[in-house]
Amino acid sequence: MLLAFGLDSVIELASAGVLMWRLSVELRHGQVFSERAERTASRIGGALLFLLATYVTAAAAWHLWKGSGEQFSWPGLIVALAAIPSMRWLARRKITIAEKIGSRALRADAMEAVTCGWLSFVVVVTLAAQWLFGAWWIDGVGSLAIVWFLVKEGREAWSGHACETCCS
């Protein structure tokens, strides 16, 4: 799960890059071009969420099949603990701005931050359970618990219905 948390960070950076591209299109070319860029950016955000869901599922299945979880790591636990409130704050800000400017792409990007927050929470719980109880399997099970959210948000971003108030 710690590796999935790291991959989510890379995907979140890619999502932020796509969002910066989308906003730069609007600044350079105006509102007419930005709607097409908005749809493209929203679909890319959805695809990134699907990619993360695929990786999390594969990694969880591998660990469960192998019969081992991630190694306990104090630095990993500390980073994951710090990420929970940080990602919650970031996601709320992005959602608020997405609703104000009507951006499905920003909403999809916000879901990356929400996902990172949930993955952080799952990392904390699973690392603590492994450390306290030696429950190696909890990492895989905990990882699978978040996949439904990734798929749901990926579908919404891909279809362009990521935010009812954001659709213009």
For residue range 97-136, list pLDDT tens digits in order. 889 888 888 888 888 888 888 888 888 888 888 888 888 8
Q: Using one digit for the tens of pLDDT, what is the confidence trace for 31-75?
A: 666 778 888 888 998 898 899 899 889 988 988 998 877 777 788
- Closest to 144 measured CA to CA, from 44, 73, 62, 77: 62
- Closest to 105 measured CA to CA, from 50, 162, 26, 48: 162
Q: Token pair of 19, please?
A: 């969002």
Structure confidence at residue 32 (pLDDT): 65
Taking the CA atoms of 34, 36, 39 and 43 in sequence, report the sign of the dihedral they define.
negative
- Please give the Cα distance from 165 to 31 (Å, whole number): 18
What is the number of alpha carbons within 13 Å of residue 40 lying toward its C-beta?
A: 14
Is residue 165 predicted with pLDDT exceeding 60?
A: no
CATH number of 2-159: 1.20.1510.10
When pLDDT is averaged across residues 17-35 and rounded to a whole number, the result is 77
Q: Using one digit for the tens of pLDDT, what is the confidence trace for 71-91?
A: 777 887 898 899 899 999 999
- Please give the Cα distance from 112 to 91 (Å, whole number): 8
Helix (H, G, I), strand (E, B) or coil at 92: helix
Structure confidence at residue 129 (pLDDT): 85
Domain range list for the chain? 2-159
